[in-house]
Amino acid sequence: MYDFAYHKPASVADAVKILAADPDARPISGGMTLLPALKLRLNKPTAVVDLSGIAELRGVKRDGDSLVIGALTRHYEVATSAEVKASIPTLAAMAATIGDTQVRNRGTIGGSVANNDPSADYPAALLALGATIQTDKRKLAAEDFFTGMFTTALDVGELVTAIHIPIPKKAGYAKMRNPASRYSMAGVFVAQTASGVRVAVNGAGANGVFREKAMEAALAANWSADAVAGVKVDAGLLNGDIHGSAEYRAHLVTVMAKRAVVDAG
Amino acid sequence: MNVVTPFEGIGASLRRKEDFRFLQGRGQYTDDINRPGQTHAVMLRSPHAHATIDRIDTAAARAMPGVKAIFTGPDMAAESIGGIPCGWQIHNKDGSPMAEPMHPALALGKVRHVGDPVAVVIAETRSQARDAAEAIVVDYTPLPAVSGTEAALAPGAPQLHEGAPGNLCYDWHIGDKAAQEAAFARAARVVKFETTNNRLVPNAMEPRVAIGDFDSFSGDYTLYTTSQNPHVIRLLMGAFVLHIPESKLRVVAPDVGGGFGSKIYHYAEEAIVTWAAGKVKRPVKWTCERSESFVSDAHGRDHVSTAELALDEQGKILGLKVHTLANMGAYLSTFAPCVPTYLYATLLSGVYSTPVIYAEVKAVFTNTVPVDAYRGAGRPEATYLLERLMDVAAAEAGIDKVEFRRRNFIRPDQFPYQTPVALQYDSGNYHATLDACLETAGWAGFEARRAEAKARGKLRGIGISTYVEACGIAPSAVVGSLGARAGLYEVGVIRVHPTGSVTVLTGAHSHGQGHETTFAQLVAEKLGVPTANVDIVHGDTAKVPFGMGTYGSRSLAVGGSAMDKAMDKIIAKGKRIAAHLMEASVEDIEFERGTFRVAGTDKTKSLTDISLAAYVPHNYPIEEIEPGLEETAFYDPKNFTYPGGCHICEVEIDPDTGHVEVVNFTAVDDVGRVINPMIVEGQVQGGVAQGIGQALLEAAIYDPSGQLISGSFMDYTMPRAGDLPDVGVATHTTLCTHNPLGVKGCGEVGAIGSPPAVMNAVVDALRDYGVRHVEMPATPQKIWGIVNAHRLAAE
């Protein structure tokens, strides 16, 4: 990696101040994406602002009908949280499938959300659950936050601080892993929420995570695997690579949607 | 006094001595070595598959902090540094030698694959060397490139080398073409089959590392390197590249973390750091990164083949005809030319009494990383082609696939069996390994499992492979006549110390095989010395006499046999000393596991009594025998060894996703005498893991312009624990008839026997879909494509 300055602020305010003063500084949470990029010299920040010293950003709590998960909460903590397992068990189960043991003990929900990797698990979960992403200066609905592949509504220097997730009536998730990377090649998160049935897809969209409205309508009318089985996904909106063409991914989205509904029960 | 528990000898599943240090992180790998005053090297590599180098400007880079030196191809050429040599010369059908283009260590005027090294930067730190490498300006003019095996031979294809018109390295053949044509003319049926053997990236856990060291007082060079055969590296690099006398060059290969063939070869980086150490008068260390290893370690396999099998009315094989194109990559790696010829086409008889075979092989240059031997080397390609062809032929002839194989097996009473493609198999019992494997795998009860899986929505299939391979390489005179530029004997030294412990020096090299345990067991068995008192020394040309290293499952069959011969000499000398000490005639001295006895008496001397007498020769037949108890033997095998056996695989396919899961795998192998059953089981399991990897997961994919698309673990699918079943391993032994231990070798059988078993199971699972063949790897996308096409056709 190239040389960079290193900061470890103890508060969100201090972190934001450092980032505001240097637009080429990069925040680092678990570092599961940024560190490999630095090692490969694909990224050359002037400074790295290590958020791991900000204790207030870590932990899971229940707030009325919502779960509030601090941005620095690690995947392992979500996977094993009694609160998450009790209220949104499929979210805990999903967190347990992210990366491997080492990744789950380093990677954080805030880092995953801010990175918005199209193959990451959390963006689909938050989009389907109708979550709100809280930053150091505002609150954004998930559909307003995730704006495209590796892009979000975050301004330069703006930090995700917490995720608010309304507890759904039921939710389910299924994904087909890329055989090599084991990231999602087509993952579908389904939820019955207070605002209706929501279905979000990761791994497949040419523009990142997206809601599959036709499936939402089908499931609203009839919550069953058979209901989504007949919904054909438009391959023209999907991406393809050596592991999966857009046509294959379109098929997989339907298969995973069926399995997600079964998972939700 | 040495007391041996009988359980340490041949046949004991002794825990591996070396694992104590490996499992505790105490191994000493090349990257763990740091020499005083060491500098660091970084290779600047070509981003282009094919380009001319118009200009290299290193001025800015040279001025950067910490930079000691920057060298390019012309710098090495100016000192008459030779090209990286090839160790095997194949001759064309017309008797002319193969095309053997110059392989400069650093590119000279042209780059021919992505990753071709262009310059080396030597700096105080690795980071400084990387910074400077980025500051080197290279002006390239990109040229059209070709990466595909067939495309390289097409008219108008981009040409890689002036000395290789049409990109042809050689056009070779073996067998009797006229006899083959005659056999086909009278055949009741000819079955034709075409397939591609996928290109693989070996990916040893430990990336390559090389450290060059130069002692300016003595003029001695030392190379520390991740090698399977340090003497071979010393010979090739010293004699052909750097022109350093062997007396002035030491090569050390310490603990090595996996090789699978990819660490046999002499690589450019080894010569570069050794030469550069002499230039900068400081040690120079290069550590390969994983992404760099994808474009600089030799790849494996990459064949395109057509095979035709002629059958009579009864399903007996009359003849086989094979045409293969083999991708050599951009340059000839050390043993590349022999892999698709003498390690491949000579195995096309398989376990069958095929009376006539004719095979022709064309090797081609492409703008890709050089291809060379990878676990099994040629034999997996032959076995895959033949065992898939056997299934296809059985289906088309309407004969049960097991019965078809049995009908054509070489019978136990036919050994030694001369094939029509040069090899003579010394021993084997293919019926026995087949029967044992069918029984263990529950072949007869499979249809019930298929039905049960179907009820769960899964497509279950079963596949079989019966195979033989040739290893324990090799008789030096034979391989010499076939083009090898080296001998393939092995050396062993048995050094019995004064108080009876033993040091063994061997030219074989352990990089995961457990030699320190297996070889110690040979000594325990024969000399009666506890394995704890036996140390195995390997991997250092300053310690071990000239030996040939480890590949081709040869360490035990050749290296172990050398030790056995050396132990015979120890015993013979020991008997003479014992006869003197016990005042008996040497003919009356018997030796068994550490004890010399006067036959028919209770007069004995232990090995320790004898070794002490040998080194403290106060009461000693000094007029007749020299002091000391150390013997060296060189063993040159009389033949290859021929492990074989049967692998049976069961898979389940999820038709919704195309995912293939291996649910059962049974291997019954004849590896000759088994020294350590636990180590054999581990070797077979590891080989099967790589075979399943090739069959279902792994593929090095180049785009037509020569960019490696699967150039990292994000896109190259390495097998993981969860992809593998608990492989059931059993052995059924027939002894090798020509080496003293009766051993055959077990390192490669898993990777050779398994891919066709897996693919035969995949095709069987898809039998209702009208599938004749599926190419490796059987990825989910590929399988779904088959299922989906069938569904669309039905609609």
Domain boundaries, chain A: 5-53, 55-166, 170-264
Confidence category of residue B795, pLDDT binned at 50, 70, 90? confident
- The Cα B722–Cα B706 span in angstroms is 32
- Contacts (Cβ under 8 Å, ≥6 apart) of B24: none
Q: What pLDDT is attached to residue B794?
A: 85
Confidence category of residue B1, pLDDT binned at 50, 70, 90? very low
Task: Give the closest of A180, A244, A251 to B716, CB-based.
Answer: A180
* pLDDT above 50 for B412: yes
- The Cα A1–Cα A39 span in angstroms is 5
Yes or no, beta carbons of A248 and B781 under 8 Å apart: yes
Statement to judge: residues B722 and B671 lie in one domain: yes
Amino acid, res. B600: G
Task: Give the closest of A41, A181, A248 to B784, CB-based.
Answer: A248
Contacts of residue B711 in chain A, CB cutoff 8 Å? none
Task: Give the closest of A180, A241, A244 to B717, CB-based.
Answer: A180
What distance in Å separates residue A176's CA from the closest CA in chain B?
A: 8
What is the overall mean pLDDT for chain B?
97
Yes or no, beta carbons of A252 and B701 under 8 Å apart: no
Contacts of residue B785 in chain A, CB cutoff 8 Å? 248
φ/ψ (deg, to 5) at B283:
-65, 145
Let me know if residue B480 belongs to a domain.
Answer: no
* pLDDT above 80 for A201: yes
pLDDT in tens, B390-411: 999 999 999 999 999 999 999 9
Task: Give the closest of B656, B659, B714 to A180, CB-based.
Answer: B714
Task: Give the closest of A41, A180, A248 to B715, CB-based.
Answer: A180
CB B491 within 8 A of CB B632: yes
Task: Give the closest of A242, A244, A245 to B709, CB-based.
Answer: A242
* pLDDT above 50 for A150: yes
pLDDT in tens, A57-79: 999 999 999 999 999 999 999 99
- The Cα B492–Cα B745 span in angstroms is 18
- The Cα A193–Cα A177 span in angstroms is 26
Yes or no, beta carbons of B701 and A242 under 8 Å apart: yes
CB A174 within 8 A of CB A259: yes
Statement to judge: residues B436 and B451 lie in one domain: yes
* pLDDT above 80 for B276: yes
Yes or no, beta carbons of A251 and B130 under 8 Å apart: no
* pLDDT above 80 for B6: no
CATH for A5-53 is 3.30.43.10
Contacts of residue B713 in chain A, CB cutoff 8 Å? 180-181
Contacts of A100-103 spanning 24+ positions with Cβ under 8 A: A101/A76, A103/A30, A103/A32, A103/A75
Let me know if residue B502 belongs to a domain.
Answer: yes
- If one counts every other C-beta atom within 10 angstroms of the C-beta of residue B503, the result is 17
What distance in Å separates residue B717's CA from the closest CA in chain A?
A: 4
- The Cα B82–Cα A150 span in angstroms is 49
CB B198 within 8 A of CB B776: yes
Substitution target from B45, B200, B656, B702 for chain A, most A beta carbons within 10 A? B656
Q: What pLDDT is attached to residue B140?
A: 98
* pLDDT above 70 for A133: yes
Contacts of residue A179 in chain B, CB cutoff 8 Å? 697, 717, 779-780
Yes or no, beta carbons of A179 and B788 under 8 Å apart: no
Q: Which residues of A touch chain B, with CB atoms under 8 Å apart?
A: 2, 40-41, 176, 179-181, 241-245, 248, 251-252, 255
Let me know if residue B429 belongs to a domain.
Answer: yes
pLDDT in tens, B540-578: 999 999 999 999 999 999 999 999 999 999 999 999 999
Q: Does B291 touch chain A (CB under 8 A)?
A: yes
Statement to judge: residues B571 and B493 lie in one domain: yes
Identify which of B688, B650, B644, B692 has the alpha carbon closest to the alpha carbon of residue B668.
B644
* pLDDT above 60 for B3: no
pLDDT in tens, A73-101: 999 999 999 999 999 999 999 999 999 99
Contacts of residue A177 in chain B, CB cutoff 8 Å? none
Task: Give the closest of A40, A41, A179 to B780, CB-based.
Answer: A179
Amino acid, res. B63: A
Does domain A55-166 fall under CATH 3.40.50.720? My reply is no
Statement to judge: residues B433 and B530 lie in one domain: no
What distance in Å separates residue B784's CA from the closest CA in chain A?
A: 8
- The Cα B200–Cα B368 span in angstroms is 12
Core vs surface per residue B86-115: b (16+ CB within 10 A) or e: bbbbbbbeeeeebbbbebbbbbbebbbbbb
Yes or no, beta carbons of B717 and A179 under 8 Å apart: yes
Contacts of residue B724 in chain A, CB cutoff 8 Å? none
Yes or no, beta carbons of B710 and A242 under 8 Å apart: yes
CATH architecture of the domain covering A170-264: 2-Layer Sandwich (3.30)
Strands A146-148 and A151-152: antiparallel
What distance in Å separates residue A29's CA from the closest CA in chain B?
A: 22
pLDDT in tens, B739-757: 999 999 999 999 999 999 9
* pLDDT above 50 for B336: yes
Task: Give the closest of B714, B779, B781 to A181, CB-based.
Answer: B714
Residue B631 to residues B543, B569, B741, Cα–Cα distance (Å): 15, 6, 18
What percent of chain B shows pLDDT beyond 70?
Answer: 99
Considering only alpha carbons, which residue of chain A is nearest residue B709?
A: A242
CATH number of domain containing B59: 3.90.1170.50
Yes or no, beta carbons of B715 and A243 under 8 Å apart: yes
CB B525 within 8 A of CB B4: no
Q: What pLDDT is attached to residue B466?
A: 98
Let me know if residue B253 belongs to a domain.
Answer: yes
Confidence category of residue B495, pLDDT binned at 50, 70, 90? very high
- The Cα A246–Cα A239 span in angstroms is 5
Statement to judge: residues B215 and B267 lie in one domain: yes
Helix/strand/coil for B402: helix
Number of domains in chain B: 3
- The Cα B226–Cα B208 span in angstroms is 6
* pLDDT above 60 for B251: yes
Q: Does B703 touch chain A (CB under 8 A)?
A: no
Q: Does B709 touch chain A (CB under 8 A)?
A: yes
Taking the CA of residue B371 as centre, how many other CA atoms within 13 Å lie in the half-sphere pointing to its CB? Answer: 30
Rounded (to 5) percent helix, strand, coil in chain A: 40, 25, 35
Identify which of B495, B491, B502, B644 has the alpha carbon closest to the alpha carbon of residue B554.
B491
Yes or no, beta carbons of A176 and B780 under 8 Å apart: yes
- The Cα A91–Cα A80 span in angstroms is 10
CB B599 within 8 A of CB B590: yes
Considering only alpha carbons, which residue of chain A is nearest residue B784?
A: A248
Q: Does B130 touch chain A (CB under 8 A)?
A: yes
Q: What pLDDT is attached to residue A115?
A: 97
Statement to judge: residues B370 and B517 lie in one domain: no
Q: Does B78 touch chain A (CB under 8 A)?
A: no
Statement to judge: residues B404 and B534 lie in one domain: no
| Tokens coding B480 | 């010499």
* pLDDT above 60 for B4: no
Let me know if residue B365 belongs to a domain.
Answer: yes
Q: What pLDDT is attached to residue B529?
A: 96
- Crossing angle between the packed helical segments B379-397 and B401-408, to the nearest 10 degrees: 120
Substitution target from A252, A259, A261, A262 for chain B, most B beta carbons within 10 A? A252
Helix/strand/coil for B485: coil
Substitution target from A176, A232, A253 for chain B, most B beta carbons within 10 A? A176
Let me know if residue B166 belongs to a domain.
Answer: no
DSSP line for B52-75: EEEEEE-HHHHTSTTEEEEEEHHH
Residue bearing tokens 């059958």: B311
Domain span at residue B377 reads 303-473+639-794
Yes or no, beta carbons of A181 and B709 under 8 Å apart: no
Statement to judge: residues B282 and B307 lie in one domain: no
Statement to judge: residues B728 and B603 lie in one domain: no
Substitution target from A4, A182, A256, A258 for chain B, most B beta carbons within 10 A? A182
CATH number of domain containing B589: 3.30.365.10
Statement to judge: residues B272 and B314 lie in one domain: no
pLDDT in tens, B196-234: 999 999 999 999 999 999 999 999 999 999 999 999 999
* pLDDT above 70 for A166: yes
Order the strands of the B220-225 sheet from edge to edge.
Answer: B67-72, B117-123, B39-45, B284-287, B209-215, B220-225, B249-252
Statement to judge: residues B722 and B609 lie in one domain: no
Mean pLDDT value across residues A117-138: 98
pLDDT in tens, B87-141: 999 999 999 999 999 999 999 999 999 999 999 999 999 999 999 999 999 999 9
Statement to judge: residues B649 and B714 lie in one domain: yes
Counted across chains A and B, CB pairs separated by less than 8 A come out at 42
Domain boundary among B635, B668, B683: B635
Let me know if residue B183 belongs to a domain.
Answer: no
